């Protein structure tokens, strides 16, 4: 059994079957990117850990190839920690099946067959990644976050409260009938990364889902945030019956036509 395999087995025995996933999640959450690829998931416990952390943003992809094809490739690459014969390869398969990789493969959201040429495999993977990263993906959602500027506030303060949670928006100012200025920031799903990360960090996803259930529509999503809390970087959803002296930040996410 290879040294890396031994280490992985020892870790799982000592700290649980999802240890590798749990150790990697904080690192993933710190990354400032819209897409992260995690290679080498080996158990359903790891899958569940990622699903708990990232919810619907987690997509499980299984790569399937025949035993003979995998064995031939293992022999051809001649890596130091690879099994050198069929018996050793079977032992490695049995070890990983013991971790629960079989169920993880069965529960995959997407499966890519890999019994043909490396060129064909690369093309299939590229097409999948393009489906996640294509420029169209950045134009499907329209985000608007706005708030009124009250006499006791400055435009810079209100804009800063919005930017703290939704950086990178394009701002405009309009005058309301009451003589108050409204600051509105516009963007798309790429401007939601910080907000989504903060929701996970503050472990308030359950509260968020409750808010979403009340305001959810087929084509758009609207809700309010406490503006005063946002000025100090805190995410707070106001109660239905509470009126804030400085008003709210209004959030609208709409599917583009």
Q: Are 247 and 253 in contact (CB under 8 A)?
A: no
Token pair recorded at residue 95: 């070890």
Give the span between the Cα atoms of 47 and 42, in whole angstroms. 9
Q: Which of 78-92, 103-117, 123-137, 175-189 has the lowest mean pLDDT?
A: 123-137
Which listed CATH number (1.10.287.70, 3.40.190.10, 3.30.1440.10, 3.40.220.10) goes with 137-255?
A: 3.30.1440.10
Question: pLDDT class for 145, splitting at 50, 70, 90?
Answer: very high
Question: pLDDT class for 182, splitting at 50, 70, 90?
Answer: very high
Which listed CATH number (3.40.50.10190, 3.30.420.40, 3.40.30.10, 3.40.50.300) goes with 3-133?
A: 3.40.50.300
Q: Quick one: CA dihedral 151, 152, 156, 162, positive or negative?
A: negative
On whether the pTM is more than 0.75, the answer is no
Instruction: Check whether 143 has a pLDDT greater than 50.
Output: yes
Give the span between the Cα atoms of 118 and 1, in whole angstroms. 27
Token pair recorded at residue 235: 């995410």
Q: What is the pLDDT of residue 202?
A: 66
Token pair recorded at residue 55: 């919810």
Q: Are 226 and 236 in contact (CB under 8 A)?
A: yes
Query: Tens digit of pLDDT for each residue in 235-245?
Result: 888 776 556 56
Give the span between the Cα atoms of 166 and 152, in whole angstroms. 23
Question: pLDDT class for 93, splitting at 50, 70, 90?
Answer: confident
Which contacts (CB < 8 Å, 24+ apart) does range 227-230 have?
227/147, 227/158, 227/161, 230/161, 230/162, 230/164, 230/165
**CATH 3.40.50.300 spans which residues of the chain?**
3-133
**CATH 3.30.1440.10 spans which residues of the chain?**
137-255
């Amino acid at each position: 059994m290879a040294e890396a395999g031994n280490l992985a087995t020892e870790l799982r025995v000592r700290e649980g079957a999802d240890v590798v996933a749990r150790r990697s999640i904080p690192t993933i959450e710190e990354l400032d990117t819209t897409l992260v690829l995690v290679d080498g998931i080996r158990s359903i416990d790891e899958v569940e850990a990622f699903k708990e952390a990232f919810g619907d943003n987690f997509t499980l992809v299984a790569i399937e190839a025949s035993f003979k094809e995998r064995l031939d490739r293992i022999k051809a690459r001649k890596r130091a920690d690879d099994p050198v014969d069929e018996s050793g390869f079977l032992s490695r398969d049995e070890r990983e099946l013991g971790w629960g990789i079989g169920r993880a493969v069965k529960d995959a959201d997407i499966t890519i067959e890999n019994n043909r040429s490396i060129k064909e495999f690369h093309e299939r993977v590229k097409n999948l990644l393009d489906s996640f990263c294509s420029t169209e993906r950045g134009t499907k959602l329209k985000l608007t976050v706005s708030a009124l500027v009250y006499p006791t506030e400055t435009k810079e303060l209100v804009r800063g409260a919005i930017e703290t949670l939704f950086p990178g928006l394009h701002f405009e100012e309009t005058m309301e009938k009451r003589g108050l200025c409204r600051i509105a920031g516009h963007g798309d799903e790429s401007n939601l990364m910080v907000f989504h990360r903060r929701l996970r960090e503050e472990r308030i996803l359950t509260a968020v889902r409750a808010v979403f259930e009340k305001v959810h529509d087929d084509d758009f999503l609207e809700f309010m945030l406490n503006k005063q809390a946002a000025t100090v970087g805190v995410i707070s959803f106001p109660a239905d019956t509470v009126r804030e002296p400085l008003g709210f930040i209004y959030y609208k996410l709409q599917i583009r036509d």
